């Protein structure tokens, strides 16, 4: 006899994570195209939010009756998550994308499971197992291989290392976001949480652009720029945010990390289609090591806190 309640876990949720990861992969390539049109990171972020914010406002309006039920603590957490998890994370990531390839950026971001483990060691007193050290070694060994290969290809070690450091900082911020966001999403609801936090984020980003540049006409200088802005705002932001926020609310952070491992692999395919460059053997080896380490790290994280899985205390998220 079939068991329909198992379907969301066994099929629908992994499919949503994979689709969301795929759409987020496309974001890096669109950002590169916008850079080629002369936009700076703040301009890319501002145009992205201008395209996406109307959708977020509609999401808030559809659930406006629930606003009064949101706790003061959750309002504060959403403001913090909007600033750190979206604005700051996106800013340092887009700065890094000026200096590294889309493929390297995706692989570095996928290192966040090992960063979560490191955080649990430093701040929660966790004792890592030998397998955890192996997982971390695989991840960072793979990243070192890919970065070394990219330096050889680009010829400017300082730029690649700086860009990699910025993307790595983005991964650290994202790891923190994953741990804090889940209980808030569950309490507030996926659509209202996404609408509110992204609206807050839009205000921060547009203010940043106004202070740094102020020339909003540059965001609409050509049809190409406008098209890229709509694409990154809707296809690369709104849709994947909804998909991944919903999936994260229905599964554990570690399982979510394992399922999203498809992201770096899909980036290779996207790089081939849009950029016309097929990664060489060295990059494939580095990618395989990094992805294997990320998956292994996620499984280790899922094994170690079994005693806590049934509690899900927000203070420990």
Give residue limits of the domains in the chain: 22-305
Phi, psi of 211 (to 5 degrees): -70, -45
Distance (Å, rounded) from C-alpha 302 to C-alpha 285?
26
Instruction: Using alpha carbons, select from 19, 36, 25 the residue that is nearest to residue 270.
Output: 25
pLDDT on residue 301: 46
pLDDT, mean of each 10-residue run, the chain (317 residues): 45 75 78 89 92 92 91 92 89 89 72 67 66 70 70 71 88 79 86 90 93 87 91 88 75 60 61 59 73 63 40 30
Query: Coil, strand or helix: which one is 174?
Result: helix
pLDDT on residue 214: 80
What the block records as the tokens of 114 is 């090992």
Phi, psi of 6 (to 5 degrees): -80, -15
CA 24 to chain centre: 7
């Amino acid at each position: 006899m079939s068991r329909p309640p198992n379907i969301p876990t066994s099929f629908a949720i992994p499919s949503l994570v994979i689709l969301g990861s795929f759409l987020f992969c496309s974001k890096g390539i669109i950002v590169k195209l916008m850079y080629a049109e002369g936009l700076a990171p703040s301009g890319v972020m501002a145009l992205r939010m201008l395209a996406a914010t109307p959708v977020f406002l509609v999401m808030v309006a559809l659930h406006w009756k629930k606003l009064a039920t949101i706790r003061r603590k959750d309002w504060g957490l959403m403001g913090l998550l909007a600033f750190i998890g979206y604005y700051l994370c996106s800013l340092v990531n887009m700065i890094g994308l000026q200096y590294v390839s889309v493929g390297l950026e995706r692989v570095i971001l996928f290192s966040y499971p090992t960063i979560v483990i490191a955080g649990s060691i430093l701040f929660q007193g966790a004792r890592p197992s030998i397998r955890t050290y192996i997982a971390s070694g695989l991840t960072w060994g793979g990243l070192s291989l890919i970065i070394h290969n990219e330096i050889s290809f680009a010829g400017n070690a300082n730029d690649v290392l700086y860009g990699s450091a910025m993307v790595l900082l983005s991964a650290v911020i994202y790891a923190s976001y994953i741990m804090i966001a889940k209980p808030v999403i569950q309490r507030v609801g996926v659509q209202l949480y996404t609408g509110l936090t992204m609206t807050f984020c839009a205000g921060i980003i547009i203010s940043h652009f106004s202070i740094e540049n102020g020339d909003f006409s540059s965001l609409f200088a050509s049809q190409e720029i406008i098209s890229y802005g709509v694409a990154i705002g809707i296809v690369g932001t709104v849709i994947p945010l909804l998909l991944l926020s919903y999936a994260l609310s229905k599964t554990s952070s570690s399982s979510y990390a394992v399922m999203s491992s498809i992201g770096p692999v899909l980036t290779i395919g996207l790089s081939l289609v849009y950029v016309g460059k097929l990664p060489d053997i060295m990059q494939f080896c580095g990618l395989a090591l990094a992805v294997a380490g990320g998956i292994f790290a996620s499984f280790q994280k899922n094994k170690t806190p079994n005693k806590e899985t049934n509690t899900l205390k927000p203070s420990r998220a």
